[in-house]
Amino acid sequence: MVDYTYGARGIISSLDDLEKWIKAIDGNLYISPDMTRKIFFGFKTNKGDEIKYGYGWNLSEYMNSIFYYHSGGWVGFRTFVVNHPKEKLWVVVLANSSGIIMNLAALEMTKYYLNIG
């Protein structure tokens, strides 16, 4: 039996906390703009191969728009967070069911809010 749920390193959070976290990232409240870029932008290996992964965030593209996403979960709870910086849109999917396909739920929400395909 699980007495409590937690994120990495024992972080307990809520939807309100996630909103504050997003605003802190967007506003560079706790880290510098340079560090924020490192979080979201990939890098190249010494051989020149492009890695589409920042500090914990994957990089991807949909309909000519670059976006970043991070997912996680613990004992029946799952999270999928997407940042669409050009559109100034963040999508947060929280679920307590393995029946929800998190990335597809985020995609459908994105399409709805951006009024696309």
Alpha-carbon span 72 to 78, nearest angstrom:
6
- pTM comes to 0.79
Token pair of 62 as six digits: 């949909």
Alpha-carbon span 110 to 116, nearest angstrom:
8
pLDDT digits (tens, 9 = 90+) for 42-76: 788 899 998 888 888 998 888 888 899 998 887 77
Q: How far is CA 57 from CA 5, 97, 115, in A?
A: 22, 23, 25
Please indicate whether residue 8 or residue 116 has the higher confidence score (pLDDT): 116
Task: Return the domain boundaries, the chain.
Answer: 14-114
pLDDT digits (tens, 9 = 90+) for 76-85: 788 899 999 9
* Residue 81 near residue 71, CB atoms below 8 Å: yes
